[in-house]
Amino acid sequence: MNNNWPYDSIVVSGADAQTYLHSQLSQDLRGLAVGAESWSFVLEPTGRVVALVLVRRTGEESFELRVDRGWGEALATRLNRFRIRVKADIAPGEGSAGDPAAYLVERVRAGWPAMGAEITEATIPAELGHVVPQAVSFSKGCYPGQELVERMDSRSAQAPRRLALVRLAVGAVLDGSIGEVTSSIPDGDGVLALALVRRGADVPGEIALGDPAQG
Tell me, yes or no, whether 1 lies in a domain: no
CATH number of the domain bearing residue 137: 3.30.1360.120
Whether 139 and 167 share a structural domain: no
Same domain, 192 and 92: no
Q: Which domain holds residue 199?
A: 161-207
Residue 153 confidence (pLDDT):
84
Query: Tens of pLDDT along the chain (215 residues)?
Result: 589 999 999 999 999 999 999 999 999 999 899 999 999 999 999 999 999 999 999 999 999 999 999 999 999 999 999 999 999 999 999 999 999 999 999 999 999 999 999 999 999 999 998 999 999 999 998 999 999 999 988 887 789 999 999 999 887 778 888 999 999 999 988 999 999 999 988 888 889 886 333 33
Instruction: Answer whether residue 93 is part of any domain.
Output: yes
Strands across the sheet containing 62-68: 37-43, 49-59, 62-68, 7-13, 89-92
Q: Are residues 122 and 26 in the same domain?
A: yes
Whether the CB-CB separation of 181 and 118 falls below 8 Å is answered with: no
Residue pair 126/159 in contact (Cβ under 8 Å)? The answer is: yes
| Half-sphere exposure (Cβ direction) of 186: Cα atoms closer than 13 Å | 4
61 domain residue, yes or no: yes
Question: Are 105 and 77 within one domain?
Answer: yes
In angstroms, rounded to a whole number, what is the distance separating the alpha carbons of residues 18 and 127? 28
Q: By three-state DSSP, how is residue 19 classified?
A: helix
**CA separation for the pair 28, 37 (Å, rounded):** 11
pLDDT, position 210: 61
The verdict on 148 and 165 lying in the same domain is: no
212 domain residue, yes or no: no
Same domain, 149 and 189: no
Which alpha helices (DSSP H) does 32-95 contain, by range? 72-81
d(CA 21, CA 17): 6
Supply the DSSP symbol for 59. E
Give domain status of residue 182, yes or no.
yes
* Total domains, the chain: 2
Half-sphere exposure of 103 (CA within 13 A, CB side): 19
Residues 122 and 181 in one domain: no
**Based on the domain organization, do 197 and 93 belong to the same domain?**
no
Residue 19 lies in a domain: yes
Which among 69, 103, 78 is positioned nearest to 25, based on CA atoms? 78
Mark which of 133, 154, 175 sits at the end of a domain: 154
Query: So what's the pLDDT on residue 212?
Result: 39
Looking at the fold, whether 99 and 176 belong to one and the same domain comes out as: no
The pLDDT of residue 36: 97
pTM of the model: 0.92
